[in-house]
Structures are given as structure tokens and as C-alpha cells.
Amino acid sequence: MKSILFTMGILTFLTSCFVGKSKKIEGAENIQPDSSIYSISLKTLDGKGSIKLSDYKGKYLVFVNTASECGYTPQYKDLQDFHLKYADSNVVVIGSPCNQFGGQEPGTAEEIGAFCQKNYGVTFMLTEKLDVKGTSQHALYSWLTQKAKNGAGDFEVKWNFNKFVVSPEGKLLHYFGSNVKPGDQEFLNVFKK
């Protein structure tokens, strides 16, 4: 029993070391990526529509990989509050359910949508469930995490509720780990004019 508790303690410590990091990308406004984020489209959570990122040129894009059974799941409320605060401005929030971290998003699209609506009143856009890492990584996360595509840097999505911010000009500006909440000043400072 002691060895299990010790192992759990070590894992908690290591997880906290990796999920709370944030990275501002210096000089991002001068970087020319090899590909444009605006060439990417995503399917909506219900699979009936598409989200064409080109429709959001001129707006900040906030991408978050989400999960319904994670310790960070209450950030859905923070994201919804942030979305409402900036609803009439130039900020768009897009959540992407992902089941790659601890199997914490096992539900169907219908179950995920119902959970988000019932528990957090989510009205920001949700994509279909997708992979944010590995051999089946979605094109969006390939762009967000690979310097060769985004021109800004290489990043690794290390857990649920990592956040990427793209400028109104389509440049990758900032990466936030799971511990940074959408209501934290560190996050909000990105959107100050």
C-alpha cells in the first residue's frame, strides 16, 4: 500500500511539473509559418457541420483540448465565462474533446454535448473528438505543435485543457498548460489592447 501511495505521489508531482507551464512566443508577429492555420477545417461535435478557421481571420483563436472526466474539467465553466466575456469582441473559443489522456473523455459526441450543456452551459464551439498527439494527430494540433508548420515553436500537448492562442493575423502567440485557467491574469493579459 505504501508503494502505491508513493508511486501516486510521484506521478502527481511529475504531472504538476508538466501541465502548468506556459510559453509566450517572442517575436511571433514576425514569424512566417510554412502553412496557414486558415487552411484547416474541423467537424463540429455533432458531426453535422464544419468549422472553417478561415471564417475567423481577424480574430484571436483559443484552442483547448477538453475532457469530461478530468480534474481540470471545471475549466469548462472558466472557458464559458471567458467566452461570454469576449462574445462581442474578436475572440473565438474552440474546444476539442480528446480521449488520449487517462481515457478521461470516453463518451460519445451526444454524451459529451449533453454533459457540457447540463453541467457548464457551454455555448462556445466544440469539435468532434480528435487526437492531439501521436500518429493520428489532427491537422489542427499538428499545426499548433510543430514549428515547421506554425513557424513559432515545437510544443507538446501534455494533458487535458492545454490552451493555444492564435493572433488575429494567424500567428501562434501563446501556449498555456493545464494549470493556467482562462480567468487567470496571465491568460487574460494576452487579450488586453
Number of domains in the chain: 1
Predicted local distance difference test score (pLDDT) of residue 192: 79
Predicted local distance difference test score (pLDDT) of residue 5: 39
- What secondary structure letter does DSSP report for 137? -
Predicted local distance difference test score (pLDDT) of residue 6: 41
Predicted local distance difference test score (pLDDT) of residue 19: 52
Residue 12 lies in a domain: no
Query: Would you name the residues annotated as active-site residues?
Result: 70
Residue 3 lies in a domain: no
Residue 18 lies in a domain: no
Single pTM value for the model: 0.85
pLDDT tens-place values along the chain, 193 residues long: 444 434 444 444 444 444 555 655 554 444 454 579 999 999 999 999 999 999 999 999 999 999 999 999 999 999 999 999 998 899 999 999 999 999 999 999 999 999 999 999 999 999 999 999 999 999 999 999 999 999 999 999 999 999 999 999 999 999 999 999 999 999 999 997 6
Predicted local distance difference test score (pLDDT) of residue 87: 86
Residue 111 lies in a domain: yes
Containing structural domain, residue 103? 33-191
Helices and strands per DSSP (H, E), number in the chain? 6, 8
Residue 97 lies in a domain: yes
Burial class (CB within 10 angstroms; exposed 0-12, middle 13-18, buried 19+) of 169:
exposed
The enclosing domain of 98 has a CATH number of: 3.40.30.10
CA 122 – CA 114 distance, rounded (Å): 10
Q: Residue 137: what residue type?
A: Q
Residue 54 lies in a domain: yes
Residue 22 lies in a domain: no
Residue 44 lies in a domain: yes
The stretches of 20-146 forming alpha helices (DSSP H) are 75-85, 109-120, 139-145
